[in-house]
Structure 1
Amino acid sequence: MLKKRPITILLLCILIIVILYFRKDIVYITKSPEYFRDFMKSYGKYAIILYLILSLIRSLFLLPAGVFAIASGITFGAFWGSILTCVGVTLSGILAFEISRCFGSDYLIKLFGDKIKPIEEKLKGKGALYIATLRMIPIFPFDAISYVSGLSNVKLSSFIFGTFIGSLPGAFVYTYLGSNLINIHSKKFILSLCLVIIVSLIPLIYKYVLKRG
């Protein structure tokens, strides 16, 4: 099956090389956004490329996308941080999507257990707009959506478009917070913190509305 999916072979080769090269650094940079920023800046003009490569492998370790977004904001600023975060989560989503198509449901069950069943049901016959909605309203784990999408009939192009567009609002909120971490007493930081709280409450509000009918 791997022979039929050259994208997967390429991504997995990149993954192996990156993990072997950065095996010690990966643990270090996930301790805090500041560590992440200092690590990125140490690579100068190659920082953006490095960020995208690390974002690519993020889904394999199930590291929180929000942490990467905050780190992107503190490193690259709100605007470019948002763009890079969306590109990064899309790349990590493609990797998860391709892996699930190669290794099937048994691999996903080991990762997520029964959590994949409701996502599978909701993805049947859905396209880019539905993927985007799931990204904007994070009622399911971000990476779980990517992995389960690989088992559905969703086209890769639709998945990529939906993931990128749907990730934009959340990416901006978290990168905006990251860009203001250096001055926690500013009005911008308070605003960014309020936005993060609002975004965090959306899934709870959505589930409450569903229960109320």
Structure 2
Amino acid sequence: MVFVLATFLSVFPVIPFTLFAGVMGAKYGVILGTLINWFGAVSSAAIFFFLARSALSSYFDKTIQRFKKLDKLTDMIEKNAFVAVLFVRLVPIVPTPVVNIYSGISNMSFVTYFGATAIGQIPGMFVYALCGKQMFSSPSVLMWTLGGYLLFMLAVFGLYSLWYRGRLKVAVD
């Protein structure tokens, strides 16, 4: 039942999902809390992907076509779909609904999207559960956890930047 609730709250965020995710870590522990959070996040991402691909695609296609500069971004994302989705899941700088909808209206395959989403959601869902578990028991360890996660995101961002620059160099040559 908690897995269904996690999906529901991720699709319909009546409370912030990060708050729910922390509570799952506090209540069920880090491992089960992470699994519950991951299931909810990945399930809702799949739901939004299919909604964008089927019911909402014509609306979003028309909206995006108005912005010609997005053509290059769309082309690059479709050529490197797995890496692009994995990166925005590992370093959550793009809002989740934008990632889900943009991926759904692109030519990206569901398998590629789902794989990158499933892998990319693991660190964040783990940190949410861990923070929830540590919130009341060990505030100092909580701060170290948050600092470690920030360093992790910076490292991923740095690696992606290096990869992206190398990709652009190849595309220009």
- Identify which range, 200-209 or 155-164, moves more after superposition: 200-209
1:51 aligns to what? 6
TM-score by length of 1: 0.59
- Aligned residue for 1:180, secondary structure, equals helix
1:52-103: CA deviations, max 9, x gaps?
3323434xx7x75433432322232211111221111111111211111121
User: Would you say 1:131 and 2:95 are equivalent positions?
Assistant: no
Q: Is the 8 A contact 1:119 1:148 kept in 2?
A: no
- Aligned residue for 1:139, secondary structure, equals coil
Q: Distance between the aligned counterparts of 2:43 and 2:83, measured in 1?
A: 18
2:112 aligns to what? 158
Q: What is the aligned counterpart of 1:103 among 56, 60, 84?
A: 56
- Aligned residue for 1:150, secondary structure, equals helix
| 2:10 partner amino acid | S
2:41 aligns to what? 89
Q: Distance between the aligned counterparts of 1:149 and 1:96, measured in 2?
A: 9
Q: Is the 8 A contact 1:173 1:195 kept in 2?
A: no
Structure 1: where are the runs of 5+ without partners?
1-45
Q: What is the aligned counterpart of 1:177 among 127, 131, 154?
A: 131
Change (3 A) 1:47 1:170: closer
Change (3 A) 1:109 1:86: farther
Report the alpha carbon displacement of residue 130 of structure 1 after superposing the two structures with TM: 3.6
| 1:172 partner amino acid | F
| Aligned sequence identity (%) | 21
Q: Distance between the aligned counterparts of 2:11 and 2:152, measured in 1?
A: 24
1:18 aligns to what? none
RMSD of the alignment, in Å?
3.6
Q: Is the 8 A contact 1:69 1:81 kept in 2?
A: yes
1:147 aligns to what? 101
| 1:54 partner amino acid | L
- Aligned residue for 2:80, secondary structure, equals coil
- Aligned residue for 2:112, secondary structure, equals helix
- Aligned residue for 1:124, secondary structure, equals helix
| 1:70 partner amino acid | G
- Aligned residue for 1:132, secondary structure, equals helix
| 2:26 partner amino acid | I
- Aligned residue for 1:120, secondary structure, equals helix
Query: Which one has more relative contact order, counting CA pairs under 8 Å at least 6 apart?
Result: 2
- Identify which range, 196-205 or 137-146, moves more after superposition: 196-205
